[in-house]
Amino acid sequence: MDNYRKSLIESIEDNKIELVSPSREYTDTEIIYMKGYNQALQDMLEDFDNDFEAFLNELIQFQLN
């Protein structure tokens, strides 16, 4: 699970860097796509963090019972 979270964070950071300092010239459509892709990755990370916390809480409660 940590590797998945780490991969998401790295992808988000790499995409942010590419938007700030592009390695090549992008079209307006590509920039819009990259921004949308980055937002989707951030949403996935947020959902993962929330769901994983809930999963851990359920796991702990199950083990205590």
The predicted pLDDT at position 64 comes to: 64
The predicted pLDDT at position 63 comes to: 66
The predicted pLDDT at position 52 comes to: 82
| Spatial distance between the Cα atoms of 61 and 55, rounded to a whole number of angstroms | 10
* Burial class of residue 47 (count of CB atoms within 10 Å of its CB; 0-12, 13-18, 19+): exposed
Q: Do the Cβ atoms of 20 and 34 come closer than 8 Å?
A: no
pTM above 0.85, yes or no: no
Q: Do the Cβ atoms of 44 and 8 come closer than 8 Å?
A: yes
The predicted pLDDT at position 2 comes to: 79
Which of the residues in the chain have pLDDT under 70? Answer: 62-65
